[in-house]
Structure 1
Amino acid sequence: MASLQSASALQSETTVVVAVRRSSSSRRAAAWASNHLGALSCRILLVHVIPLISFIPSPSGEMTPVEKMEKEVVAMYKHDEIHRALEALAPIKQLFGRRNVEMIVLEGHSPAATLVSYISENSIRNLVMGASSFGDSCFRRIFNQADVASTVLEKIPSHCNVIIVSKKRLKMKVSKLDNPTGTVLDATVGPDSHTEVQSISHRDFSESERKWFFREQFMRIFLSGGSHKHEMSGLTARAFMDTDQSSRGGFSGTSCAKTPQAFGAEDEVLKLKTDLQNTLAMYDQACEDLVQAKKKIQSLSNEYTEEEKKVQAALQREAKGGRKQLMQETLDRYRAEIIANQASVEKSNVVNCSLAREKRCRRYSKEEIEEATDNFSAAKKIGEGSYGNVYRCTLDHTEVAIKVLNSKEKMEEFLREVEILSQLHHPNMVLLLGFCPENGTLVYEYMENGSLDDHLLYRNDKQAPPLPWAVRFRIVLEVARGLAFLHSAKPEPIVHRDLKPGNILLDQNFTSKIGDVGLAKLMFDIVPDGLTEYNETILVGTVYYMDPEYQRTGTVRPKSDLYALGVITLQLLTGRHPNGLLMSMERAVENGSLAEVLDKSVHDWPVEAAERLVKLSLRCSQLRCRDRPDLEDEFLPEMEEIMRMATGVHELERFNMRAVPKHFICPILNEIMNDPYVAGDGHTYEYKAIKEWLEKSNMSPVTKQMMQHTSIIPNISLRSAIQEWKLSGQFI
């Protein structure tokens, strides 16, 4: 049992604990221990203290007390925290090379208290740690808090040696070494027999002090008994025997010649001589120490003077360098501002030149937009989105919708939409009337019946009746024709990428038009359905209407819009939210219960035609592009056949814009005229359109020749014919 205790004591005393954290001071302490103590100790122990885990973050970000969590979850979280701490200690461990180094992570509220408790419980004799940083020390002094190193020096047990390593000096607290038998060791055991804190420089830490640091451990092991004590017992016994024999020999040689009184006087004289010699020796030593101290003071004074000169020179250089750096930074900032202004001016010139070429739409001034919107009054706002707000107002005696970008970062989207929409003219595309690049506004024709999303979710303020099935079928056909127009654009096809009910607008006749083409992408080469190309790192669009293959691969194809069209068609048939709509419609088709899932607000559904349209929409909503039908070759013919089945050939003419008499169509707007006027070229136009046209140009929109005059007169007979045609039921 005694040998086991001795072995445990030897292990604790030959262990050097290095307290570390994530700081340069800890790396300095570890490097010092590796260079000075690593070769003398048989075990190096790196100890790191982490805060006591009382709360665990939940997936939502909230902090949950550990008492409310399961034990397995708490244990797993603690294991992860300890593992991360050990990984952070790996660079410090590498400072010891191939030496035997262990790492321990402790948990506690106070690092100093946790470290002192660990030292006491494990009887650790040697502790090395880094001094607190300058910023940390200042912070703690402001709040009257002791740093970790000072707290450890104050609370550490007396049996432990402590070394605090700073950048230039060492603080050493040497342990108080007591004899287990009750006698106090002689002062020769160490340089200091009581626990006083010494501060020395790295240069003064000599080899003799390091030897003493571990000689004290050896003396304690020797005095504590155990398996190591017998190694010195023989030598000690012989030393005592020699001393005893010499003493007895000296006594026997003089006992017959001298009396006891003589011996007493001689002993007193010898004692006085010895005391005198000791006093003289102490005086000489004191004189020598005084000389050494004076030399050291002189040396320190010289060093201080040199250091002061170096510091003053460094401060002067730093001040000069700081002024130069400040001047250089100011100059660089000024140059950067000039370059930025030049780039802004050049970009503005490029934008102005680019927009100046757009003759199909008008460029409005900033003042005109602000006047029309009453400085963007909330009373005129009719909608908002990720791009900005939409206002309803009047420009040039025409009711329009103005879209305002809410961020200059959207300028690229603004320029793209102007470029694309100014070149697109189709009965099923929202018409761009003008723009204002100064405040990022786009002027569109106003759509009286809002968006398809308003009617599907019944968000219309007018509480309009549900859309008839015929209108819903026609909307699908018109949106398909608009997409076909985009996909067949020259020289490159255009993919909308954000087709959804909110971007399908309805005019006063419930004619559907595709809007919000700002996210459209020009396809310079159509990607085959089986290949992955044109990968994008940032996906755009709305989740429920976004092509799954586009989400997975980032590949944009014209058939990506076909997926959204399929989902919108199913919404028109059911009036339901798109979440989970595809699966429910597939089950309804398989179970033959399609009539049960159709929108209940419509009572006269043509079930057979609706079933064919559902199956066509499900084909459009396949996960892979290759499994979807072609828009022009398959979808449009099938859709026309479905409408022919539901309404008959004569009814189909109601939904086909080609059946409208050509002289009813305005050559400028490509829409049925409501207020026809005859211009100087003999052709009839919508009043608002020709009025705006003549304000910009005297050239005929049809003949491309100069008009003889700019007067316009109402075409009353044509207006009556158009009204009679609408009332006759030939147009919804």
Structure 2
Amino acid sequence: MGPNGKPYDLSPPETDISFVSSGRKSIDIISGRKSIDTCPSYYESFESTHTPPRLSSLSDMENHAFESWQLGRKSGGTITPLEFSYASIENDITSTSQTMAKELQRWKMEEQRRLEEAQLAEEAALALVEKEKAKSRAALEHAEAAQRIAELEAQKRISAEMKALKEAEEKTKVLNALANSDVGYRKYSIEEIEVATNYFSQAQKIGEGGYGPVYKCYLDHTPVAVKVLRPETTHGRSQFQQEVEILSSVRHPNMVLLLGACPEYGCLVYEYTSNGSLEDRLFQRGKTRPLPWQLRFQIAAEIGTGLLFLHQTKPEPLVHRDLKPANILLDRNYVSKIGDVGLARLVPPSVADSVTQYLVTSTAGTFCYIDPEYQQTGMLGVKSDIYSLGIIFLQLLTGKPPMGLTHHVEGAIEKGTFREMLDPSIPDWPVEEALSFAKLALKCSELRRKDRPDLGNVILPELNKLRELAQDTTFNSAPKVADP
């Protein structure tokens, strides 16, 4: 725009063609304009005198267009200023469009990113909700399961209480029947026992057990063994009498028979076994010949048979708790009989435990027969006797003391030197059967009670096979032991 408010005329100036062709150097009076020939730099002078100032009122697009026109003129082009203006505007529009397109693309990408983030957040929220729902369902199921378990436990407890009540009633009936019967056992007075034992003479003493000394004597013209319980082991005359009546009614060929008792003074009268204990025969005390392997297999089967009968006693099983070779007695035909059957029932648990400790500290080797799990927990069961049975079986095979015996036998089996572990006093061992017997004994002497085999279903069938093998083989019987 000019100073007068009118736009500048940017079109090329009109020229007189005839004036140019004649070469005259003059001024066109009519047009009042200089000739192109005389003013070759017209456009330069026009640019210097007529270029409008770049006012702030001009748009950037207009300024850019004019600058493009100037540049075209300087470079000798033939593009008119208007064409430059259109081209520049078109370029600006294209550039602006591209910029706007880029901005739009960036905005779309930003919106897409925000949308994806929103979707991820929504998915995370839904996952969290599902997780919380799962937790709620699990908690509800756990509560329902706990309620069902509690109901089952309550039912089991009621059933156990009813069963215990029924067993107690049956036991009371048995005790009452025995208490009212005179044939349960023979009652001896203390005077009769004193006369028979010559007032407990040392000459007639044949042994010393954990519960008291043992004397040999004759009562009713029958050889008997009298065990005198220590005063601290007795606990009430009436209870002692009831327990003795129960034990006297338990009869089995492989258990020492209780013939009678003197309840007032805690004396028990057993049948006498002339060949002493299995411990004496295994260690050949009295210079006796060793027991042949056939007899050892037979003794093992007899011990298992008697122990199973003991565990099946009604109304409740009897646990020996002190099974060891010293309590396995042999009659004159070498029939084995388990001694001290149920003797732990005759003393209160606290005293019985102290007696067990007494045995452990005072009698060498007894500790090795005690069930380790019972020793740690105080829980006594029929499989406590199975551990002791396994140690006795290993001694029947090796003739060695019980200390560390399971470890030595296991090591010999692993090294293939089991034959060297067998009792060397027996030259004709059936090694294959002996090895099978040793593996059974090691299973019986497992440290954990649940790992020990069942006596009736597993142990006894194997022992009966060994007994049949022994019966099919002839052997020279062991010599008789002279009466003391």
Give the TM-score normalised by structure 1.
Answer: 0.37
Identical positions, percent: 55
Hey, what's the Cα distance between the residues in 2 that align with 1:416 and 1:499? Answer: 23
Is residue 435 of structure 1 aligned with residue 299 of structure 2?
no
Is residue 384 of structure 1 aligned with residue 208 of structure 2?
yes
What code does the residue aligned with 1:487 have?
H
Shift in Å, 1:517:
2.4
Pick from 450, 453, 459 the counterpart of residue 276 of structure 2.
450
Shift in Å, 1:398:
0.7
Q: Give 1:422's aligned residue.
A: 248
Q: 1:389 to 1:539 in 2, by over 3 A?
A: closer
* Aligned partners of 1:399 and 1:445 also within 8 Å: yes
Is residue 606 of structure 1 aligned with residue 430 of structure 2?
yes
Hey, what's the Cα distance between the residues in 1 that align with 2:470 and 2:342? Answer: 36
Q: Give 2:408's aligned residue.
A: 584
Pick from 355, 360, 372 the counterpart of residue 548 of structure 1.
372
Q: Give 1:362's aligned residue.
A: 186
* Aligned partners of 1:497 and 1:540 also within 8 Å: no
Q: What secondary structure is seen at the aligned counterpart in 2 of 1:422?
A: helix
* Aligned partners of 1:364 and 1:436 also within 8 Å: yes
Hey, what's the Cα distance between the residues in 1 that align with 2:241 and 2:380? Answer: 21
Shift in Å, 1:389:
1.3
What code does the residue aligned with 2:262 have?
C
Hey, what's the Cα distance between the residues in 2 that align with 1:592 and 1:417? Answer: 49
* Aligned partners of 1:498 and 1:546 also within 8 Å: yes
Q: Give 1:244's aligned residue.
A: none
Shift in Å, 1:354:
7.4
Q: Give 2:443's aligned residue.
A: 619
Shift in Å, 1:582:
0.5
Hey, what's the Cα distance between the residues in 2 that align with 1:628 and 1:416? Answer: 33
Hey, what's the Cα distance between the residues in 2 that align with 1:548 and 1:515? Answer: 22
Hey, what's the Cα distance between the residues in 1 that align with 2:220 and 2:383? Answer: 39
Pick from 411, 415, 419 the counterpart of residue 595 of structure 1.
419
Pick from 628, 639, 643 the counterpart of residue 463 of structure 2.
639
Q: 1:520 to 1:593 in 2, by over 3 A?
A: same
Is residue 401 of structure 1 aligned with residue 211 of structure 2?
no
Alignment of 1:174-323 (within 5 A): none
Q: Deviations over 1:65-96 (max 9, x none)?
A: xxxxxxxxxxxxxxxxxxxxxxxxxxxxxxxx
Q: 1:386 to 1:490 in 2, by over 3 A?
A: same
Q: 1:397 to 1:537 in 2, by over 3 A?
A: closer
Q: Deviations over 1:291-316 (max 9, x none)?
A: xxxxxxxxxxxxxxxxxxxxxxxxxx
* Aligned partners of 2:179 and 2:242 also within 8 Å: no
Is residue 502 of structure 1 aligned with residue 326 of structure 2?
yes
* Aligned partners of 1:450 and 1:505 also within 8 Å: yes
Shift in Å, 1:600:
0.8
Q: 1:362 to 1:580 in 2, by over 3 A?
A: same
Which structure exhibits the higher relative contact order, with contacts defined as CA atoms closer than 8 Å and separated by 6 or more residues?
A: 2
Q: Give 2:306's aligned residue.
A: 482
* Aligned partners of 2:298 and 2:470 also within 8 Å: no
Q: 1:643 to 1:388 in 2, by over 3 A?
A: closer
Q: What secondary structure is seen at the aligned counterpart in 2 of 1:369?
A: helix
* Aligned partners of 2:275 and 2:332 also within 8 Å: yes
Q: What secondary structure is seen at the aligned counterpart in 1 of 2:249?
A: coil
Shift in Å, 1:359:
1.7
Shift in Å, 1:437:
1.6
* Aligned partners of 1:387 and 1:410 also within 8 Å: no
Hey, what's the Cα distance between the residues in 1 that align with 2:393 and 2:369? Answer: 11
What code does the residue aligned with 1:435 have?
A
Q: What secondary structure is seen at the aligned counterpart in 1 of 2:406?
A: helix
Shift in Å, 1:422:
1.1
Q: What secondary structure is seen at the aligned counterpart in 2 of 1:505?
A: strand
Shift in Å, 1:642:
3.4
Q: Deviations over 1:608-662 (max 9, x none)?
A: 1100000000000111111111100010112222344x447x559x9xxxxxxxx
What code does the residue aligned with 1:377 have?
S
Shift in Å, 1:540:
6.1
What code does the residue aligned with 2:320 have?
H
Hey, what's the Cα distance between the residues in 2 that align with 1:422 and 1:616? Answer: 32
Shift in Å, 1:494:
1.2
* Aligned partners of 1:539 and 1:551 also within 8 Å: no
Q: What secondary structure is seen at the aligned counterpart in 1 of 2:464?
A: helix
Q: What secondary structure is seen at the aligned counterpart in 2 of 1:495?
A: coil
Shift in Å, 1:511:
0.4
Hey, what's the Cα distance between the residues in 1 that align with 2:245 and 2:333? Answer: 28
Hey, what's the Cα distance between the residues in 1 that align with 2:279 and 2:470? Answer: 25
Shift in Å, 1:356:
6.3
After superposition, the CA RMSD in angstroms is 3.0
Shift in Å, 1:454:
1.0
Hey, what's the Cα distance between the residues in 2 that align with 1:548 and 1:601? Answer: 31
Pick from 287, 292, 304 the counterpart of residue 468 of structure 1.
292
Hey, what's the Cα distance between the residues in 2 that align with 1:464 and 1:397? Answer: 28
Alignment of 1:531-542 (within 5 A): 538=353, 541=356, 542=366
Hey, what's the Cα distance between the residues in 2 that align with 1:553 and 1:637? Answer: 31
Q: Deviations over 1:510-537 (max 9, x none)?
A: 1000011244459xxxxxxxxxxx9999
Hey, what's the Cα distance between the residues in 1 that align with 2:399 and 2:250? Answer: 31
Q: Deviations over 1:428-451 (max 9, x none)?
A: 010111111222211111000111
Hey, what's the Cα distance between the residues in 1 that align with 2:467 and 2:315? Answer: 32
Hey, what's the Cα distance between the residues in 2 that align with 1:401 and 1:419? Answer: 18
What code does the residue aligned with 1:400 have?
V
Alignment of 1:86-97 (within 5 A): none
Shift in Å, 1:384:
1.4
Q: Which has the larger radius of gyration?
A: 2
Hey, what's the Cα distance between the residues in 1 that align with 2:307 and 2:431? Answer: 26
Shift in Å, 1:352:
13
Shift in Å, 1:403:
0.9
* Aligned partners of 1:417 and 1:517 also within 8 Å: no
Higher strand share: 1
Q: Give 2:49's aligned residue.
A: none
Q: Deviations over 1:43-83 (max 9, x none)?
A: xxxxxxxxxxxxxxxxxxxxxxxxxxxxxxxxxxxxxxxxx
What code does the residue aligned with 1:557 have?
G
